Amino acid sequence: MTGSVYFISGIDTGIGKTYTTGYLAKLWNEQGQKTITQKLVQTGNVDVSEDIEQHRKIMGMGWFPEDDSKLTMPEIFSYPASPHLATKIDGREIDFAKIERATQQLAEKYEVVLLEGAGGLMVPLTIDLLSIDYIAAKQLPVILVSSGRLGSINHTILSLEALKSRGLELYALAYKTKTLQLPQTQRKIEITRRKNGSTTSKATMCCFAGSAFDIEKVIKRHFHTNHITFALINVERI
């Protein structure tokens, strides 16, 4: 049986994709669903992906055999830049067939594979291929990571527009925040992945520019849907 693969992207670089990926893996493993993480393309590292290392630290499960075999980090480039530039500097191209084989092998062993991208949806993997093009080619459901920082409403809705224009599935919209004051029961991510793939979430409010803003209603009205799952991640409590 082949497991489900979810693509983790964000509205910007440094928005919290790695924390979200690691914490979702931790949460779903605790819920009894065998979950592993994978990095699509890692830049700025040599031999080992720092993002995979961060996932394992958050998950608290140690190093996986698939980490040793590099299935979880099939492509690593040394220069810290967008993949299309890092590949040029390192003098080799991304081996997409290698990535696809690695993802498939993970999906054959695990119920869930969380595939973390590099940067946002429009980051170029090559001169001709954007991250969102790869997602579209593989028809992967997306978990989009946003935050409560100034400007994020605009970036979030632009990212959702990009997904909508290509007919891609948004599995969940996750907010990463450090300062939002909510009741204790709402301070951690509350995405629950059920066996049939449906989700539930409790946290729907996010803080934008210092004030509570019900972005869920804005987005659902704008996109004419009630089928978006919202969650909140407080990275200080991970």
| Residue of 34, 119, 27 lying closest to 80 (CA atoms) | 119
Catalytic residue check, 164: no
Catalytic, out of 39, 88, 164, 178: 39
Backbone φ/ψ region at 103: left (φ over 0), alpha (ψ -120 to 50), beta: alpha
The DSSP bridge partners found for residue 164 are: none
Among all residues, which ones are annotated catalytic?
A: 39
